[in-house]
């Protein structure tokens, strides 16, 4: 027994003497990662804004940090006739983004300032209740464009006929998009003007009947959760009241959204100047519900949408500094590119670059401690320290993997650390970091046997160098030699899916150093 203990101690000492400690140099590169980043508005309630000036196939690689294309469309365009769908107005523009490894996001609306029937007219004709009202664009933008006054039909959002037709549409949409890895999120936008919950005729009628105008909103939340169980869903702050001062947990609609696992979206920031903001909301003119984001962010992602860029600048409400500040204030996972991309790039590219380096999650590998020599099939420990320097968590999680890559760039072995989910890695907010230390017990390669049947009996054989068969011979599954040890974060099966701010990576596997595999 003592000899065995001594041998183990000697082995451990020799092993320790071969340890290599690496402190990688992390870069300030702007990364494109799943489920986070800058979001380009292709359709923003209008077919012509803001993607129509972009060359077909342009996925905005020239605008650092843009990871997602966003489609905000009225229901009437996607289902002009009952059961007849126009997914092509999404898919045609989404295809190059998906091919480039980027993602898409949605909002479907039922009431719009530019459409009399954002809810398709055939829904009204089928018996769904609703009301007309007139809307002037000057109430929103401070000026009268041509044809400013528009007749708008607003549905009764709780009407059974309306809800049944909407359910059928959402089910068709879910069959196409629910759970797809290229879908980053979907807003719950089927309530109120622009999907933001601003109700006109509906609210008037509900109050006349002595009913809560938010009554139907709860039904829409439940409907989306049921139909899109595998999609990240975002509620919108204005749906519960754009100026509600209460904590989110005390607002019934926000509490329901939180309990259903929704993320949170603020529409919009940088709308008001100090002189424009109502006195009851002072002293903060730039945004209203960063405190509500605090309620959601520990468990679900947050989207920050700024006002239409040109309108915000023309009004004097735009601030590059406040844009960057909003990312931290909201623990933001996504930030909008809400305007013509070239105009934003020409005037505010530095601000968006700064925001892109902080938004979402960003994992830095600070230190790796590993043995420079390992024995085939024998467990060894690879120690590593990581820090999430972003402002949000990686809510969908990630698994650490250590790979051996040969001198031709081929992956020879992958070992994953299943004991820790990087969803638990807390972000660095307020200047406080939360390092994650892992001691991964890895086994590189193993020895196996090739079975054959001989008169019904399993015999383990392998072909030797001179062409004869030898019984019970074990064969190595990993060629002995020197490899590059690479770190990666990604899927539980070891597939790397997250970009890291490290140099020299290939297919999102990042070299740490050389390691020799011996007998």
pLDDT at 470 (0 to 100) = 45
Of 307, 326, 358, the position where a domain reaches its end is 358
What is the spatial distance between Cα 314 and Cα 311, in angstroms, rounded to a whole number?
Answer: 5
Give yes or no: residues 354 and 368 share one domain: no
E strand or H helix at 302, and its extent?
strand 302-306
* Kind of pairing between the strands at 399-405 and 481-490: antiparallel
Global pTM reads 0.90
Give yes or no: residues 233 and 94 share one domain: yes
C-alpha dihedral, 307 to 310 to 316 to 321, nearest 10°:
70
Decide: 368 and 421 in contact? Cβ < 8 Å.
no
pLDDT at 131 (0 to 100) = 96
Q: Where are the alpha helices (DSSP H) in 178-266?
A: 201-208, 215-227, 252-259
Check which CATH number belongs to the domain holding 84 and give it.
Answer: 3.20.20.80
Evaluated on CA atoms 409, 411, 413, 415, the torsion sign reads positive
Query: In the chain, what is the straight-line distance between the N-terminal and C-terminal CA atoms, in Å?
Result: 25
pLDDT at 403 (0 to 100) = 98
Q: Where are the alpha helices (DSSP H) in 178-251?
A: 201-208, 215-227
| Residue % of the chain over a pLDDT of 90 | 79
Give yes or no: residues 201 and 287 share one domain: yes
What range defines the domain where residue 86 resides?
37-358
Evaluated on CA atoms 287, 110, 302, 298, the torsion sign reads positive
Give yes or no: residues 106 and 192 share one domain: yes
Give yes or no: residues 394 and 319 share one domain: no
Of 301, 323, 358, the position where a domain reaches its end is 358
Of 342, 358, 374, the position where a domain reaches its end is 358
Calculate the alpha carbon distances from 130 to 201, 224, 261 in Å. 8, 21, 31
Give yes or no: residues 295 and 389 share one domain: no
Calculate the alpha carbon distances from 110 to 67, 74, 133, 168, 225 in Å. 27, 6, 14, 14, 18
Residue among 247, 232, 327, 245 at smallest CA distance from 295: 247
3-state secondary structure of 135: strand
pLDDT at 14 (0 to 100) = 45
Give yes or no: residues 186 and 266 share one domain: yes
- The domain tally of the chain equals 2
Tokens of 184: 């980053």
pLDDT at 268 (0 to 100) = 84
3-state secondary structure of 40: strand
Count the neighbouring beta carbons within 10 Å of the beta carbon of residue 142.
11
189, with CB counted inside 10 A (0-12, 13-18, 19+), is: buried
Give yes or no: residues 240 and 368 share one domain: no
pLDDT at 13 (0 to 100) = 40
Tens digits of residue pLDDT in 216-255: 999 999 999 999 999 999 999 999 987 788 999 999 999 9
pLDDT at 450 (0 to 100) = 52
3-state secondary structure of 288: coil
The values of phi and psi at residue 196, to 5°, are -90, 0
Residue among 204, 227, 210, 228 at smallest CA distance from 156: 204
Give yes or no: residues 194 and 254 share one domain: yes
Q: What is the DSSP letter of 31?
A: P
Give yes or no: residues 11 and 81 share one domain: no
Q: Output the average pLDDT for the chain.
A: 90
Give yes or no: residues 6 and 102 share one domain: no
What is the spatial distance between Cα 64 and Cα 52, in angstroms, rounded to a whole number?
Answer: 20
Burial track 253-268 (b if 16+ CB lie within 10 A, e otherwise): bbebbbebebbbbbbb
E strand or H helix at 155, and its extent?
strand 149-155
Give yes or no: residues 252 and 281 share one domain: yes
**CA-based radius of gyration for the chain:** 28
Residues of the chain below pLDDT 70: 1-17, 137-148, 277-285, 448-476
Count the neighbouring beta carbons within 10 Å of the beta carbon of residue 7.
10
Concatenating the DSSP letter of every residue in 72-95 gives: EEEHHHH-SBTTB--THHHHHHHH
What is the spatial distance between Cα 152 and Cα 149, in angstroms, rounded to a whole number?
Answer: 9
pLDDT at 12 (0 to 100) = 46
């Amino acid at each position: 027994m003592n000899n065995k203990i001594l041998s183990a101690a000697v082995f451990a000492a020799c092993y320790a003497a071969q340890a290599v400690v690496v402190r990688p140099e992390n870069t300030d590169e702007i990364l494109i990662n799943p489920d986070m980043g800058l979001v380009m508005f292709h359709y923003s309630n209008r077919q012509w804004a803001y993607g129509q000036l972009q060359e077909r196939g342009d996925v905005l690689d020239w605008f650092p940090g843009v990871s997602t294309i966003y489609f905000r469309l009225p229901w009437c365009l996607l289902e002009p006739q009952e059961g007849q769908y126009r997914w092509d107005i999404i898919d045609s523009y989404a295809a190059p983004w998906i091919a480039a490894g980027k993602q898409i996001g949605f909002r479907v609306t039922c009431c719009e300032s530019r459409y009399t029937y954002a809810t398709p007219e055939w829904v009204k004709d089928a018996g769904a209740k609703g009301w007309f009202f007139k809307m002037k664009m000057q109430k929103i933008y401070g000026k009268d464009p041509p044809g400013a006054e528009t007749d708008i039909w607003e549905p009764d959002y709780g009407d059974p006929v309306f809800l049944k037709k909407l359910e059928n549409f959402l089910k068709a949409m879910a069959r196409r998009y629910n759970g797809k890895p290229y879908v980053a999120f979907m807003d719950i936008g089927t309530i109120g003007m622009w999907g933001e919950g601003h109700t006109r005729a509906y609210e008037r009628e509900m109050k006349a009947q002595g009913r809560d105008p938010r009554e139907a909103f709860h039904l829409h939340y439940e409907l989306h959760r049921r139909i899109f169980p595998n999609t990240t869903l975002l509620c919108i702050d204005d749906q519960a009241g754009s100026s509600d001062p209460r904590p989110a947990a005390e607002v019934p609609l926000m509490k329901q959204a939180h309990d259903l696992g929704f993320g949170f979206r603020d529409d919009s920031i940088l709308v008001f100047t100090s002189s424009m903001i109502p006195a009851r909301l002072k002293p903060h003119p730039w945004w209203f519900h960063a405190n509500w984001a605090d309620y959601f962010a520990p468990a679900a992602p947050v989207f920050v949408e700024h006002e239409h860029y040109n309108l915000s600048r023309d009004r004097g409400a735009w601030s590059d500094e406040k844009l960057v500040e909003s990312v931290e204030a909201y623990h933001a996972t996504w930030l909008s590119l809400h305007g013509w991309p070239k105009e934003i790039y020409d005037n505010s590219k530095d601000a968006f670059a700064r925001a892109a380096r902080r938004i979402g999650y960003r994992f830095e590998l600070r230190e790796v401690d590993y043995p420079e020599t390992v024995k085939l099939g024998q467990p060894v420990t690879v120690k590593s320290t990581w820090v999430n320097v972003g402002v949000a968590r990686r809510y969908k999680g990630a698994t650490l993997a250590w790979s051996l890559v040969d001198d031709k760039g081929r992956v020879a072995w992958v070992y994953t650390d299943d004991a820790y989910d990087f969803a638990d890695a807390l972000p660095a907010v307020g200047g406080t970091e939360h390092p994650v230390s892992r001691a991964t017990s890895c086994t590189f390669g193993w020895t196996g046997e090739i079975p054959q049947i001989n008169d019904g009996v399993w015999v383990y054989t392998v072909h030797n160098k001179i062409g004869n068969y030898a019984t019970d011979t074990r064969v190595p599954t990993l060629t002995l030699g020197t490899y590059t040890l690479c770190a990666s974060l990604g899927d539980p099966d070891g597939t790397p899916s997250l970009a890291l701010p490290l140099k020299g990576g290939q297919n999102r596997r990042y070299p740490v150093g050389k390691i020799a595999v011996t007998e």
